Amino acid sequence: MKGIIMAGGQGTRLRPLTCNIPKPMIPLIGKPVIQYAIELLRDSGIQEIGITVQYLADEIINYFGDGSQLGVNLQYFTEEIPMGTAGSVKNAEEFLNETFIVVSGDAITDINLNEALKFHNKKAGVGTLILKEVDVPLEYGVVVTDDDDKITEFLEKPSWSEVFSDKVNTGIYILEPQIFNYYEKNEKFDFSNDLFPILMKDNMCLYGYVADCYWCDIGSIDQFMKCNYDILNKKVNVKILGNEVRKGVWIGDNCSISPSVKINPPVYIGDNTEVYEDAEVGPLSVIGKDNIISDRSTIKRSVIFDNCYISKNVEARAALISNKVQLESWVSVFEEAAIGDESIIGKRSVIKPKAKIWPNKIVGNSETVRGNLIWGGKYQKSFFGQKGITGEVNVDITPEFVSKLASAYASILSHDAKVAVSCSEDNVAKMLKQSLKAGLMAIGIQVCDLLNTTLQVTRKATAFLSFNGSIHIHTDKADNQIVNIVFMDADGLNIEKVMKKKIENKFKREDFRRVRAENIKNAVELNDIMALYTKNILNKLQTSSIKKGNYSIVFVAESNIVGSIMKYMFKELNIAFSVYENGHDLKGLSKTVKDTKSNLGMWISDEADNYVFIDEKGNIIKDEVKEAIKALVLLNIFKFKTIVTSVDASYSVERLADMYNAKFIRTKLEERNIIDEYIKNEVDKDKKYIINAYLLITDAVSMSVLLIDLITRFKSTLSYIIDMIPQYHMKYLEIACPWELKGKVMRNIIEKCDDFSCVDLIEGVRLNYHQCWALIMPDLNEPFCKVYTESEKEEDAEKALKELSFNIEKIIRY
């Protein structure tokens, strides 16, 4: 039996700790993190161990050598460039000529590997993945297994809507050498994303062994601090170096500790450390080797690496201090602040919570570090929500924040990129747009200002004027203190999850590229965007037929921009119109449509991204019917042969596609997934045509006239068109669910299903029954689960919703 430890990661999320040392070499209670993995394998009877290395590889090789001091035989396998998890292990193929165990060099666990190996031998599969049940599985690979422990589904780092289970992949695998037959050497290859799906597709059995053990992946500063605390609290069965001089107090060799020092367990103090008079250490503090803690300093819930000098009257509270740092007298360092190697913090300076200071920095006397030196500031882990970035003006969303955000985004783009910016017509949005422009221009980006537009206008302009991306800022109509910032890709769609992560990481690390003065470009203002926008819409219509139709519309628009565009287009099309003045009073709008005998009533949001239709009889059209109307527009006006919807769309859309002999596809909620399916299946149409059609049906302004065009083509009324759409009853409920129980809910729903073939895991958990379907979707931003049910009979949908919500609440309670 052999073991292989993956130790090539850079640990970018752990910076500034990993600026000068590789992540596996970070000191954890007196030892490098990777040493715990070596000792785990050794204590399980595995002495032949390989280590894959890449980033700062010499740090690992020089420290451990051949491994003889730890009673093992170590061999090293070096990657010139990162090759992925499976790719790095492939380098050790000749060494791994028998059943072998893969462990991570940056995770701590006390798993019983011998029990896992017995399980693997019993199942006789090609591989066994060690799984662990966790409360919040977002940062891990989620795994679904059947009754025989065989893996049926897994997803790497899902969003809440993709969490199918609370069992996650620990990155510990027991594998057979035959796995190497499935990929080539020097090929970038990952276990979870590449190899395991191939093995499953080839009917090679992978099993999941759920371990009842401690496991912590040290992927962030929060997790690193937690792991230190857990070891001190003996929540993990590992050997702690040093002498336990009293319960919960470990002291290394050659330490000098004054009798007046107050030590509050649990505490670890490393070799050769000196602690002077009236200092206080602990609880939950880790002090490495060769440190000096001076008179009257207090160290609580903090981790100090090696060779640091802590002067008099310093206070550290849940702080993280790297190697060779000097804190001068009366310095205060607060919760989750991290100070990089060899930095000097001057007298009476204050390092505020969550501040991160890059290595080799000097902070002067009596300074207060709030926004950090180099690293990002005090922001939530993920500031992208479903609507982009949302916050209160001059509280969450400040000009400084917006400028840094723009610079983070621009640093991901190429030097010659062109980015469009736009905003709503209020002063707050205009002010923040200036910060956007400054942040982009500082990185050398060509900025094109679309001035005051709607979000939907900006989408169209981005897609058809060949911008590399765009950003739109608008205030919330219901609360003008709330600001929304929306990032779009080159197709005018909201950026994907991967891009959001990149922006957040750049922002938090302040890892921006800068350009010389001569490379800063002028911002260009585009004044004719509205004309191009309306022209694009009108070109898609049977204009002459509409003009002869004597149509009339009553509408209410929540912004002057939208209202002006609507009026212009209706005049161009000879459509009579009147403006309803009482805002979002849909009943009043409905009555006005009937009283005036208009063909259509419509309420349109300020950004034209939401709307409500009312037919000529005054019926307010349900949201689920809107999707079917969009499908009719694509089928009749744009001549699509495929209809793609998100997983939560009404079954009526599927039935409608059948009526037109069109292919029907359900996919994930993100617009990019929908567009990609259309591009893949509408092979007789070019990409630009498809994107244009999609943007038109998601824009309230263009849908107002496309619907009139549809009525013209059918030579009928809106109510007639709606009557031809198969009718279903959809029910919806939100159930309060703590974040840590969302994975458990999803897993239990799947496991309780008698027939797994009726379970669809496109996004969330969709259950397809004979009379009804149901969808359980964890909310991305709030602690609750969304539950949808739909059936031809309203009572069936109600019954399914009641039963499902009862089961979910029962899972949450117990």
What's the whole-number average pLDDT of the chain? 89
Residues 258, 145 share a domain: no
For 82-97, how does the pLDDT look when each residue is reduced to its tens digit (9 = 90+)? Answer: 888 888 999 998 999 9
Measured distance CA(787)–CA(764) in Å, rounded: 10
Strands lying side by side in the sheet with 292-293:
256-257, 274-275, 292-293, 309-310, 326-327, 344-345, 362-363
Domain at 324, CATH number: 2.160.10.10
φ/ψ of residue 149, rounded to 5: 70, 10
Quick check: 739 pLDDT over 90? no
For 453-486, how does the pLDDT look when each residue is reduced to its tens digit (9 = 90+)? Answer: 999 999 999 999 989 999 999 998 877 888 999 9
Residues 353, 335 share a domain: yes
Whether this model's pTM surpasses 0.85: no
Question: Among residues 474, 494, 527, which one ends one of the domains?
Answer: 527
Measured distance CA(7)–CA(110) in Å, rounded: 18
Segments of 679-754 assigned E as strands: 729-736
Question: Among residues 661, 688, 723, which one ends one of the domains?
Answer: 723
Domain count, the chain: 5
In a domain, 755, yes or no: yes
Measured distance CA(212)–CA(409) in Å, rounded: 42
- Confidence band of 140 (pLDDT split at 50, 70, 90): low
- Percentage of the chain beyond pLDDT 70 is 96
Question: If you average pLDDT over each of 388-392, 642-646, 754-758, which comes out highest?
Answer: 642-646
Quick check: 375 pLDDT over 60? no
Domain at 57, CATH number: 3.90.550.10
Q: Quote the pLDDT of residue 371.
A: 59
Q: Quote the pLDDT of residue 222.
A: 86
Residues 558, 429 share a domain: no
Q: Quote the pLDDT of residue 751.
A: 79
Three-state DSSP class for 267?
A: strand
Question: Among residues 672, 693, 723, which one ends one of the domains?
Answer: 723
Report the residue count for the chain.
814
Domain at 693, CATH number: 3.40.120.10
First to last CA, the chain: 41
In a domain, 710, yes or no: yes
Number of H helices, E strands in the chain: 22, 52
For 761-777, how does the pLDDT look when each residue is reduced to its tens digit (9 = 90+)? Answer: 888 888 887 778 999 98
For 207-266, how does the pLDDT look when each residue is reduced to its tens digit (9 = 90+)? Answer: 999 988 998 888 788 889 999 999 999 999 998 988 899 999 999 999 999 999 999 999
What type of residue sits at position 558?
Answer: E
For 326-338, how does the pLDDT look when each residue is reduced to its tens digit (9 = 90+)? Answer: 998 899 999 989 9
Going by C-beta distance under 8 Å and a sequence separation of 6 or more, which residues neighbour residue 569?
Answer: 534, 537, 538, 575, 701, 704, 705
Both tokens assigned to 544? 């002459």
Q: Quote the pLDDT of residue 377.
A: 33
Residues 359, 400 share a domain: no
The mean pLDDT value for 308-323 works out to 94
Both tokens assigned to 606? 């300020």
Residues 552, 421 share a domain: no
Residues 558, 428 share a domain: no
Both tokens assigned to 723? 């009557």
In a domain, 383, yes or no: no
The DSSP bridge partners found for residue 390 are 484
In a domain, 378, yes or no: no
Measured distance CA(306)–CA(325) in Å, rounded: 9
In a domain, 457, yes or no: yes
Residues 580, 517 share a domain: no
For 586-599, how does the pLDDT look when each residue is reduced to its tens digit (9 = 90+)? Answer: 999 999 999 999 99
Name the strand (E) or helix (H) holding 156.
strand 151-156
The mean pLDDT value for 124-139 works out to 81
Residues 686, 780 share a domain: no
Query: Angle at the Cα of 383 (from 381 to 384), degrees rounded to 5?
Result: 125
Q: Quote the pLDDT of residue 135.
A: 73
- Confidence band of 285 (pLDDT split at 50, 70, 90): very high
- Confidence band of 380 (pLDDT split at 50, 70, 90): very low
Residues 520, 546 share a domain: no
Range with lowest mean pLDDT among 394-403, 488-497, 755-764, 780-789: 755-764
Domain range for residue 770? 729-813
Q: Quote the pLDDT of residue 378.
A: 31
Measured distance CA(33)–CA(303) in Å, rounded: 14
Measured distance CA(133)–CA(215) in Å, rounded: 10
The DSSP bridge partners found for residue 293 are 275, 310
Residues 336, 278 share a domain: yes
Q: Quote the pLDDT of residue 379.
A: 34
Q: Quote the pLDDT of residue 812.
A: 86
In a domain, 228, yes or no: no
Tell me the CB-side half-sphere exposure of residue 51, using CA atoms within 13 A: 32
CB 204 within 8 A of CB 125: yes
Q: Quote the pLDDT of residue 376.
A: 35
- Percentage of the chain beyond pLDDT 90 is 60
What is the 3 state secondary structure string of 379-409? CCCCCCECCEEEEEECCCECHHHHHHHHHHH
In a domain, 230, yes or no: no
Going by C-beta distance under 8 Å and a sequence separation of 6 or more, which residues neighbour residue 429?
Answer: 423, 473, 474, 475, 483
Residues 572, 683 share a domain: yes
Q: Quote the pLDDT of residue 741.
A: 82
In a domain, 427, yes or no: yes
More confident residue, 137 or 60: 60
Residues 745, 638 share a domain: no
Domain at 797, CATH number: 3.30.310.50
